Chain A
Amino acid sequence: MGNPILEIENLRTSFRIKDNYYAAVDDVSLTVKKNELLAIVGESGCGKSALAFSIMGLHSKANVEGNIYFKGRDIANISPAKLNELRGKEMGMIFQDSLSALNPLMIIGDQIDEIIYIHNNKLAKKDRKEKVIDLLDKVGILHPAFTYNQFPHELSGGMRQRVVIAMAIANEPELLIADEPTTALDVTIQSQILDLLKKLKEDIHAGIILITHDLGVVAEMADRVAVMYAGQIVEIADVYTLFENPLHPYTRSLLNSVPNSNVVQSELHVIEGIVPSLQNLPREGCRFSPRIPWVDSSAHEKNPELHEVNPGHFVRCTCYRNFYFPEKSKGDQHHVVS
């Protein structure tokens, strides 16, 4: 797989709510290698997007602690000017909502041109234009020279997402972060975009972080998977292990709650309770324990850590050893909440 492009150590990103700081990303460590696609999966509020924004240094009002090494250099604590040299050049980002991610008053060509110009202002405008048109062609835009002069609202969602991708790969970054790149798209468009990302992965040899809530997308794209719950990574494994031998109760529950198109299930698994809000996260003990109350409390660790159960397969807390799915009591699937 190659050398690590990105190494994150004990990252903690906190947001201020009233007078206190609350960590949305809490003690996250991970690595991404060259040519590798790491998927980060979790539900809304688990901290996966906050993690992506922390890596890119895009939080304007958050407190980011810990170390982020990009090619061996700590980028969590460098000057904005130094960071700007990396952003858009060696690190690219693909955003979820392509309509709001593009400037509505600027033509597509100028928006892609800008990212090239910022990092190489010696290149002549004419050459840059040629490069932009090549890029648009590369991401599968049918009439690149025409699209160059179009405004974002004139394009379909799928086309816009291609433009956002073209922008992210313009300077052939070594690390690409894709934050829910297909969530807003129709299935047939989604599969086209995923295929494009696969092709680009081979072309540009980047390390890719794919953030998603869609397990199908993970199964199709990832080399390794990190599952996040309540700001922490609860399980990391290679994609085959994760789908075939998931260990953490959250991973197992999540996999069981998706309607599987191959198997007909009479009922989907429901995770008890609700995802706690940032202020109400349990900060001590196993954060998932309130959602599996039938598992004996002695099964949890006091300070749950990631354990390497097999080479490369990490699971947080010891509760996975005692976890089982409860017998389904008839007609009482939903938990009454006040």
Chain B
Amino acid sequence: MSFLEVKNLKVHFPITGGLLGRTIDHVKAVDGVSFSIEKGKTYGLVGESGSGKTTTGRAIIGLNKITSGNVLFDGQDITNLRRSKMSARRDIQMIFQDPYSTLNPKKRVFDIVAEPLRNYENLSKREEKKRVQELLELVGLSPESIHKYPHEFSGGQRQRIGIARAIALKPKLIIADEPVSALDVSVQAQVLNFMQKIQKELGLTYLFISHDLGIIKHMCDRIGIMYKGRYVEEGTPEDIFTNPQHIYSRRLVAAIPDIDPRKREQQLQFRRTVKEEYEQSYNDYFDDKGLAYQLQPVSDTHLVALPGRG
């Protein structure tokens, strides 16, 4: 049985307009998304801005209201349950993109990391301090740093503080929304390595949301590609990167710059071919509203949004 299961998830936001400000339409940010993650694995959700990947993550953890569909966590239905009322909610934590804006600048590191502990656990002052120090050590920050403020840290260190806060309650699932996008490459490497390390140590399951296909490929066991609120393709990194079937995935993969300058011409040609193909067969892959079709299996692991056959 899968650890997290998302079934036909829809998140629609109302658009108001007219003289009286009534709801005249909906933005279908997430429009029928289904996937499942196995325990201890990393699932990558890729897409460009406006694809609905972030909304999906936020809906799972309860930060966006789910319009319809279900979220099952460890066999339990957690759709639209309030955070406070849910014991299962503490098992799911989130890491955000910008480590600076999500840490309260007026609070010391100690209070930031201890906050979830205070919300969920009744610890004595001494126990609490011990736990925070352990957590900081785990994320590679010295125990003395508990008295500092977020601005005294570098970007990578701040992201580690964010991670320390996220793992304080020993969660089972972490939703990481672009956790390294704001960081420099060398710092990015630190955080990614560290996330892999604690995954092994704590048996964590990740939902890794990113626009960077290189990072997704490096981190994930299974990948879903989103476009305008829907899935266009899902599969193993092998399926997605060496055998992308949907025209949009192909275009996305072709767009990644190659680190080998000798392949420049080849890459340019490849990209041109894919672009032509994309323009020619756009109508075959998307419906009349420009949205993707339902996923169809093309192999045991590989699903592609192709027009319904029969």
Within 8 Å by CB, do A and B touch in the complex? yes
Interface majority SS on B: helix, strand, loop or mixed? helix
A234 CB to nearest chain B CB (Å)? 14
**Could you show 23 A-B contacts with beta carbons less than 8 Å apart?**
A187-B212, A187-B252, A190-B255, A191-B254, A191-B257, A215-B185, A216-B259, A220-B257, A222-B261, A243-B259, A257-B188, A258-B214, A259-B217, A264-B217, A268-B193, A268-B218, A269-B189, A271-B189, A335-B140, A336-B142, A338-B141, A338-B142, A338-B144
Closest residue of A by beta carbon distance from B215: A259
Interface membership of A270, Cβ < 8 A: yes
B-side residues, CB < 8 A to A, are 48-49, 137, 139-142, 144-145, 154, 156-157, 184-190, 192-194, 196-197, 211-215, 217-219, 241, 251-252, 254-262, 264, 267-268, 271
Residues of B within 8 A of A261 (CB): 213-214, 217, 241, 256, 258-259
Whole-angstrom distance between the alpha carbons of A243 and B263 in the complex?
A: 12
* Known interface pairs A275-B184, A338-B145; A191-B255 also in contact (CB < 8 Å): yes
Whole-angstrom distance between the alpha carbons of A275 and B184 in the complex?
A: 10
B144 close to A258 (CB less than 8 A): no
Whole-angstrom distance between the alpha carbons of A187 and B264 in the complex?
A: 16
B213 close to A44 (CB less than 8 A): no
A220 close to B213 (CB less than 8 A): no
Residues of A within 8 A of B257 (CB): 190-191, 194, 214, 216-217, 219-220
B140 close to A334 (CB less than 8 A): yes
B186 close to A254 (CB less than 8 A): yes
Interface membership of A186, Cβ < 8 A: yes
Residues of B within 8 A of A195 (CB): 268, 271
Whole-angstrom distance between the alpha carbons of A189 and B251 in the complex?
A: 11
Interface membership of A260, Cβ < 8 A: yes
Residues of B within 8 A of A90 (CB): none
A334 close to B271 (CB less than 8 A): no
B178 CB to nearest chain A CB (Å)? 13
Residues of A within 8 A of B185 (CB): 43, 213, 215, 254, 257-258
A187 close to B260 (CB less than 8 A): no
Residues of B within 8 A of A44 (CB): 184
* Known interface pairs A258-B214, A275-B154; A336-B189 also in contact (CB < 8 Å): no
B261 close to A43 (CB less than 8 A): no
